[in-house]
Every structure is written in C-alpha cells, then in structure tokens.
Amino acid sequence: MSLFDWFANRQKSGPISKDRQEREIADGLWSKCEACGVLTYTKDLQANQLVCPECSHHIRVHSDERIRQLIDSNTWIAIDTQLVATDPLTFRDRKSYSDRLQETKEKTKLLDAVQTGVGRLDGLPIAFGVMDFRFMGGSMGSVVGEKLTRLIERATRERLPVVIICASGGARMQEGMLSLMQMAKISAALQRLRDARLLYIPVLTHPTTGGVTASFAMLGDIILAEPKATIGFAGRRVVEQTLREKLPDDFQTAEYLLQHGFVDAIVPRTQLKQTLARLIRLHQPAASTTTSTTHLSMHLPEVRSLSVTTPE
Amino acid sequence: MATTERKPILLDFEKPLAELEARIVQIRELAEENDVDVSDQICQLEAKAVQLRQEIFSGLSPLQRLQVARHPRRPSTLDYIQAIGDEWMELHGDRGGSDDLALVAGVARLAGRPVVMLGHQKGRDTKDNMTRNFGMASPGGYRKVMRLMDHANRFGMPILTFIDTPGAYPGIEAERLGQGEAIAYNLREMFRLDVPIINTVIGEGGSGGALGIGVGDRLLMFEHSVYYVASPEACAAILWRDAAKAPQAAEALKITATDLKQLGVVDEVLPEPIGAAHADPITAAETLKISIVKHLDDLSRLTSQQRQELRYQKFRAIGVFTEIPA
C-alpha cells in the first residue's frame, strides 16, 4: 500500500470513531489538551515540548522529560541519586508517611521530588535541578533540601551556573520543622554561590508556591517563569478565606508576578533552552578578554524583559 | 509587663486549678468571718494547688501547649525587650513606602552592650491586634527588619530576634508586594551578616513567617512555645481533610520545644515559671536575659568568619535521610 493509498483509505473511513479515539488516547497515541480539549498526535505534542499547538497551554512536564528538553543528549550526569527520605517523625495522617513514600516511589519510579545533576545546555556546562510535581506535589523535605544544597555547593566549587526548574506545593508537612529548615539550608548555599559571583536562574513552572517561593524560587539573579504558571506564597484559597472576597483571575499567575516586578521574563517552553543559553552566555567573560580574571569580567548586564510588557 | 489586676484568662485545662484556688479564698474568708483557725488546712490546700499547677503544666499535650503559646496574656516581643533591655528605641519603616507594625525593631542596650532587637508583635487586646495584624507580618515588615539587621551588621551590633507569629500575612496586598521574595531574601541575607544573631521563639513560631527572622547562630525556645511548618489547623485541613483533626496534627507535627531540641532544630529550651510565662513574666524575662547574655559572650569570642562558618554548618546539618549504596 502506497502512502497515498493509505491516506485515501483513511479519509474514506471518515473521522475516527469516538470508541477508537478513546482507545488511542488510552494507548497514548493521541493526547487531549486539558485546556482546549483539542486532540494532538502525542509525538507531535512531545516534539512541541508538551505545549498544545492549538492553544499554547503548557502541559505539566515530568523531570525526565525536562532533562531531555533542556540538557544536550549524552551529557547528563545525575548526582546524589541514592538519597531517600526516611520518616523521622513517624508521621501518620490518614496514611503513614512511610506507606505514602513507598507508594509514590513505585508509582513514579522516582526516589524523591527533585532530580539533580550536571550536564550541558547548548554546549554550556551547568548544574541543573528539576523538581517533579508527581512526587507528593513536588514537596520539599530533607531529601529535596539536601540534593539542592549539594548541587549548589558543587556548582560553587566547580564554578558552574545553576538552573533550577521549580514545581512544588511547598514544604513537606510530613517531615515537620525539618522541611521548613530546608528553606534556610538551601538559601545558605545560595548565599555562597552569590558570593562566588556565579549565576543562578530559577525557572518557575506551574505551580510554585509556599516554602519554595519563600526561598530558592525567589532568590534568582534572574527569575524566569512559564506562561500562566501559578506562583505565590499563600495558597489562593487561604487568601480568599482571609479576605472573604473573590480574587482577580490573574492573581498569582506568572503574568501577575511579571507585572508586579517579581519575575524578569515569561518564557514559553519552546524557547526556554535557547533563552537560558543566551543568558548564560551573556554572563560569561567575553572571548576577546585575555588578561582579566573570571572574577572581574563576570559583570552583570542589565536584563530586559524578554516578553511583551504591559504598560503600567 | 502584663498587669496583674486584670481578670485572668483561663484555658480549659487550667479550670480545676482555678476552682481549687477559689476554694482556698472562700475557706479563708469563712474562717475570718467565724474566727476559726484553718491555717493547717489552707497550707495543705495551697501545697496541693502548687502541685496541681506543676502537674498540669508538665503534662501538657502539644495542642494545649499551642494554646499556652497563643495565650493573650503571654509576654510579647515588646514586653521582653522592655524587660531585658537597659534602653530601647524603636525605629520605623522599610524605606519602600511602608511601616509594618506586626514586626517591631530598634536599637537597644543589653547588659551594657549595644544591640539591635526585633520581633513579631501581637496585640495586647482586640484593638491593638487590629493594628498589629495579629502579629502576621507583611513584606514591608520583613524588609524593615532586614534594613535594621544590615544596620546592626555595619555597626557591629549583635542581633536578637523574637519570634511570635501565626505566620506571614496571607493577603492580596502581601502577595502583590512579594511576601515570598521578602522572606526568601531575609533567609539568604541573614547568612551573609557576620555579627552574632540569636533567635528566640517566645510564643508561636508560624512557618515561613517565623523563619523570615529565624536564621542565626543560636535558636532558643521557651518551654511552652511552639514552632511549626504548618499550623495544626491548616495541616489537619490539608492532610486529614478535616480541621477538627487539629489535635492529631499538633501531635504528629512535633511542634514543641523538647521535640525540636531532639530533632536538632533548637539549641536550648528555656524553662518557664510554673504556670507558664504569663503567670510570671518577670521571671521569664530574667531567664531569657541570662541565656542571651551567656550565648552572646560565647559568640563574641569567635571571629566573624568563624561565626559565619558555624552558622552555615548548623543549618547544613539539619535534615534526616538515608543514602542507599548504589
């Protein structure tokens, strides 16, 4: 059968039946956009980095996929892959924390809510951390804190820029105060990175809230965000309850934060890799400089918003 | 300090004690009226009352401790500052357009040495609480205290912070002004400062709003104060999907001073007078002052680099996990 015949046959059989449609969605052949409902061939969607070609909705990306999207192939070296959470408080809500961890590990094939490593982004060596919302809402406990701290410490030693993809509901309640203190621990490491004049760029993706917002997400030299991502400190419902009034639709969106001066730029996912590469290159010593030390030539140029700014 | 003439505010578990004390007063009055000697009985009853008070306060559940920590008469930041300082002048404003009264800060003298003291300020009554926003700070508050901590650092003054907040304010204005950014900035910058920093939880340590002034060389905690990642009420609502499960959440979250000492989060637990700090604020303030002065003496013997390194290592070591062999 020639390709033409196949195409003709396919047209003859008319639009695919609902039954077949559902089967193929189930098989993962087609994906339905959760925002506009349009079906896209999964391979096309992946090629478009899980951004709906129809409505530009940014579908949630898991950590493995993020690494594929941003790190050059065959350059990724995962670090601290053997760190696992214990249950220091023997915490039990409706389920014990130990059971919850076990189930989540089996379901996600991850050990905790962040992957860290070193690799190349468009040829540039970077230290890279990526949170995974599937693992207990990307919550930050001891393991997330330790892995990110080690990543930042390594970057400080090896003089690498740091990029962290944030996606988290905040601190992990099941580890109590140990989780809260991870905010301080990571911030301490970032202070040393900053002292060493190394570049740190967090990318805020949907959602970035709570203790993550109140620590490393907001401590970037340059802060990028994905379109329409929810970013905030207090949960929307908590704010609504406090005020007893309905909040504006754009409240705590990436666009809202850009407008109020808390992110530098909103970058569509399809342009994220090139944007990061461009920013990192802009902070490297100019190739022509031969005598200056890295320290002196690490000047921080003025950053302009890369997206359309709203007049205000 | 809190005046004693005011009618005491009773927590549920204090009621048996209050009843016993009322009975003692009654018997004494009766005895005086009828001119009978009941001094033996009264002595016995008074001893019993002391014992009961001790028993009640040594066996408090985490939720009861939370109630004590939130007690309306519990000494506040300004109470302690005025009690332990030789002198004190409050300073205002974040230089960015606001002065948040939920966080107070100023220059002071403690045991002869100039320091900067700051902390969350809860109100003493409903009206005061409105002004103080119940001790829930806004971004401007965190920026104000950061300004004064920077000031302390430039003039070589140690920093004493007092933690007493249900949490950072979850309001639309606070979000718009960058509540997350304000706290995050303080966390990082407090590691940059090289003067001694001592943080004390005097009442309620509410999550990120507490941590925003909670990075330092020593973390002290009053015996009946609490410190949590999420309030037991919020935790119950989220994890149990039932706010009525707050007692279980309070238990599970390990919020008490002794629990946190065990977890390696707290450096020293400050004992409170029998019946908690609000029963005897003067004694509580003395305990606080003695401890702070002792720690300041220890920290002053170190170089600023040593302090910074030890501060880093102190937080670096917090966290529990295992590393499985590859």
SS (H, E, C) A23-90: HHHHHCCEEECCCCCCEEEHHHHHHCCCECCCCCCECCCCHHHHHHHHCCCCCCEEECCCEEECCCCC
CATH 3.40.1520.20 fits B65-316, yes or no: no
A304: confidence class by pLDDT, cuts 50, 70, 90: very low
- The Cα A90–Cα A175 span in angstroms is 9
pLDDT digits (tens, 9 = 90+) for A76-125: 999 999 999 999 999 999 899 999 999 999 999 999 999 999 999 999 99
Residue B169 has pLDDT above 90, yes or no: yes
* pLDDT over threshold 90, residue A145: yes
A161 pLDDT above the threshold of 60: yes
Chain A residues in contact with B212 (beta carbon < 8 A): 214
Instruction: Give percent of chain B with pLDDT exceeding 70.
Output: 98
For B205, name the nearest residue in chain A, comparing CA atoms only: A177
* Predicted pLDDT at A9: 65
In this complex, do B265 and A81 lie within 8 Å of one another by their Cβ atoms?
no
Whether B325 sits inside 8 A of A82 (CB atoms) is yes
Compute CA distances B174 → A208, B53, B98, B141, whole Å. Answer: 17, 42, 12, 10
Confidence bin at A293 (pLDDT 50/70/90): very low
Domain borders along chain A are 61-290
Residue in the block written with tokens 């033409």: A4
CATH architecture of A61-290: Alpha-Beta Complex (3.90)
| Least Cα separation, residue B272 to chain A (angstroms) | 22
Q: What is the pLDDT of residue A305?
A: 45
When pLDDT is averaged across residues B291-314 and rounded to a whole number, the result is 98
For the record, the structure tokens of A129 come out as 């951390």
- Please give the model's pTM, rounded to 2 decimal places: 0.90
For chain B, the structural domain boundaries read 14-59, 65-316
Min Cα–Cα distance to chain A from B154, Å: 18
Query: What are the phi and psi torsion angles at A128 (to 5°)?
Result: -130, 130
Q: Is the pLDDT of residue A288 over 70?
A: no
Please give the sequence-ordered ranges of beta strands (E in DSSP) within chain A, or none if there are none.
30-32, 39-41, 77-79, 83-85, 114-121, 124-131, 162-168, 200-208, 224-225, 265-266
Mutation pick from B229, B248, B263 vs chain A, by most beta carbons of A within 10 Å, is B229
- Tell me, yes or no, if B10 comes closer than 8 A to chain A by beta carbon: no
The residue of chain B nearest to residue A175, with distances taken between CA atoms, is: B253
Give me the residue from B184, B248, B312 closest to A214, CB to CB: B184
If phi over 0 gives left and psi between -120 and 50 gives alpha, with beta otherwise, what is residue A198?
beta
Tokens linked to B318:
């917090």
pLDDT of residue A116: 98
Cβ–Cβ gap A188/B316 under 8 Å: yes
Chain B residue with minimum CA distance to A153: B316
Q: What is the mean pLDDT of residues A293-309?
A: 46
B217 secondary structure, DSSP code: S
pLDDT category, A248, cuts 50, 70, 90?
confident
Evaluate if residue B33 carries a pLDDT over 90. Answer: no
pLDDT of residue B326: 74
pLDDT value, residue A303: 45
| Nearest neighbour of B172 by CB, restricted to A187, A213, A247 | A247
With bands split at pLDDT 50, 70 and 90, how would you rate the model's confidence at A235? confident
Half-sphere exposure of B326 (CA within 13 A, CB side): 4
- Per cent of chain B over pLDDT 90 is 78
Q: Could you tell me which residues are beta bridge partners of residue B219? A: B199
Chain A contact probe: residue of B320, B322, B324 with most A CBs at under 10 A: B320
Give how far B39 is from chain A: nearest CA, Å. 50
**Mind listing the pLDDT tens digit for each residue in B111-134?**
999 999 999 999 988 899 999 999
Over range A140-153, report the average pLDDT.
98
B184 touches chain A (CB under 8 A): yes
Paired strand residues for A171: A140
Binary contact (B320, A239; C-beta < 8 A): no
pLDDT per residue over B54-94, tens digit each? 889 888 999 999 999 999 999 999 999 999 999 999 999 99
CA A112 vs CA A84, A115, A138: distances in Å: 7, 8, 8
CB-based contact, B310 to chain A, within 8 Å? no
